[in-house]
Amino acid sequence: MKHILFIAPFLLLFVACSNNSKKIELNKTDSLRIVSLAQSISQDVEYLGLSKNIVGATSYCNVSKKNKELIIGSSTDINIEKILILKPSVVLASTLTQPNIIESLKKNNIKVHCMGKASSFEEICNEFIKLGSVLGKKDTAAIIVSKCKNTIDSLRNNLPKLEVRPNVFFQIGSKPLFSVIPNTYMNDYLEFANCKNIASDLTSGTITREAVIKRNPDIIFVVTMGVVGNEEVNIWKTFKQINAVKNNRIYILDSDIACAPTPITFVETFQVMIKNIYENK
């Protein structure tokens, strides 16, 4: 098992998709057949009420874990032949999808919609609405986004006023240690919660344990990485000089929710984080 969480490439990589801004016209009289190439995309499709229309998905998608027959490969190793057999109305690609896979699908007259890189909550919402438009669910997507934005605004407006913003280390990988950095949607969790990211000066997520100790975070969030997440928490607890350790303020977040760039999971994660930050003192 790799210790770098799967979300890290989403934060740092971008595969240019030539049709990102091009609207794909789907024949609405046909039964919509969707192939999803990422777990977060499958979640978006489910939120739009189209989970039953998914005919193919990666092994990492929850929908394929329930039905193995849907598996068409992993996020980076796609079985093109199997996708062609499925005759999808559209293939939904991610920033991890290899350009040659996308081109091969297009050459076989398969419609491909590429989800763009989302570097903020606003961009997550914009991508969701684009997806809704592609799948004939633009109004549904707009309603969901509106509710999510209103919830975030309400939560932010009701945060307790603090004299000093807490310093937070948000860990999303180990071996090497990997931190949330600015200009990513996960950094918005911290900004919206009125916290300081101890990695705010970094342009790459890699950070040493010594650097974290020196920056002395008041709070540490660790996303689940299988057993590695719990192991990391136990490692941090050995550094008694860190404020977060002194005050027992190390929290684990579910990576399936925290690391999924969807409007709904963003709200869910933010709710958990502000509860830990402001209520579990």
The predicted-structure confidence for 232-251, as pLDDT tens digits, reads as follows 999 999 999 999 999 999 99
Percent of the chain at pLDDT exceeding 90: 79
Architecture of domain 157-278 in CATH?
A: 3-Layer(aba) Sandwich (3.40)
Using CA atoms, how far residue 90 sits from 26, 36, 53, 63, 217, in Å, is 8, 9, 11, 17, 45
Domain 8-151 matches domain 157-278 at the CATH topology level:
yes
User: What is the pLDDT at residue 191?
Assistant: 97
User: What is the pLDDT at residue 227?
Assistant: 72
Contacts of 35 (CB under 8 A, 6+ apart): 54, 55, 56, 57, 72, 83, 86, 88, 90, 91, 92
Class of domain 8-151: alpha beta
Judge if pTM exceeds 0.85: yes
User: What is the pLDDT at residue 240?
Assistant: 97
pLDDT interval class at 281 (50, 70, 90):
low
Rounded CA gap, 132 and 45, in Å? Answer: 8
Domain boundaries, the chain: 8-151, 157-278
Q: State in Å, rounded, how far the first CA of the chain is from the last one.
A: 34
